[in-house]
Amino acid sequence: MGVKTERREIPYSIRLLTLGLWIYVIGALMPPVLMKAGLSEPASVLYTIYSFLCHQLPQRSFFLFGEHLTYKLEDLRERVGLERLPGYPWPRTFIGDSRIGWKIAICQRDLAIYSAMVFSATLMLLRRRPWHPMPIWAFLVFGLMPIALDGGSQFVSYALAMFGPFTPRESTPFLRILTGVLFGGAFVWTLFTRLWLLEWAAEERSRPV
């Protein structure tokens, strides 16, 4: 963009966005911590807030302070019974218990996306200057395409299963984390860097000649 990148002030928009990301990720991690501490009311408030931002399906979420970090839907059915999984096979309101653990307030993929975003943005803040912006084609290929293929094929397979003898494809925690990290990191590398340079360019133009 033709902007000098010597040591300069970090744009306030980048600081605020990074702070917002930290608040969002920490807030999503707090409900299981609060449940473990016996503070169910504030945990319930956070679960409710995040329910408007994520599907929160337990079979696609991480659990803390329990027997395992993840559970398949069949595992949950065997451990807690159908009566405790309202809306099965989409029991999004189930948050866990003291034995299997407590659910993080956002799903595995969202946690990977926002964690990658917050750590990438924080790294840029620490170096006090942006990276060279990622080309849009690279974002589409390395950031958007993997998550679209994994999440999209999963969605389409479940849609097809509603209308015929088609076995749904369920992604895995590894693929959700991998595609989420790729998307989140590429998003920051593509958008945050351009926003940073645009603000510096606007600052240069506003300086008196």
Maximum pairwise Cα distance, the chain: 72
CA–CA–CA angle 132, 138, 141 (5° rounding): 160
Least confident of 18-27, 112-121, 124-133, 154-163: 154-163
> Tell me: the pLDDT tens digits for 97-117?
999 999 999 999 999 999 999
> Tell me: the pLDDT tens digits for 69-98?
999 999 999 999 999 999 998 999 999 999
Residue 6: pLDDT band with limits 50, 70, 90: low
Q: Report pTM.
A: 0.91
What is the residue-averaged pLDDT of the chain? 92
The domain locations on the chain are: 20-108, 127-206
Backbone angles phi, psi at 16, to 5 degrees: -70, -40
Backbone angles phi, psi at 40, to 5 degrees: -75, -30
Checking if the pLDDT of 65 tops 80, the result is: yes
Which pLDDT score, from 0 to 100, does residue 164 have?
77
Which pLDDT score, from 0 to 100, does residue 20 have?
98
For the chain, the C-alpha Rg in angstroms (whole number) is: 20
- Residue % of the chain over a pLDDT of 90: 79
Which pLDDT score, from 0 to 100, does residue 162 have?
81
Average pLDDT over residues 63-72: 96
- Residue 105 has a CB neighbour count (10 Å cut-off) of 26
User: What whole-number distance in Å separates Cα of residue 86 and Cα of residue 138?
Assistant: 42
- Residue 88 has a CB neighbour count (10 Å cut-off) of 13
Q: Contact, 58 vs 92, CB < 8 A?
A: yes
SS3 96: strand
SS3 63: strand
Least confident of 1-5, 62-66, 204-208: 1-5
- Residue % of the chain over a pLDDT of 70: 95
Residue 201: pLDDT band with limits 50, 70, 90: confident
Task: Give the contacts of 154 (CB within 8 A, at least 6 positions apart).
Answer: 168, 169, 170, 171
> Tell me: the pLDDT tens digits for 28-60?
999 999 999 999 999 999 999 999 999 999 999
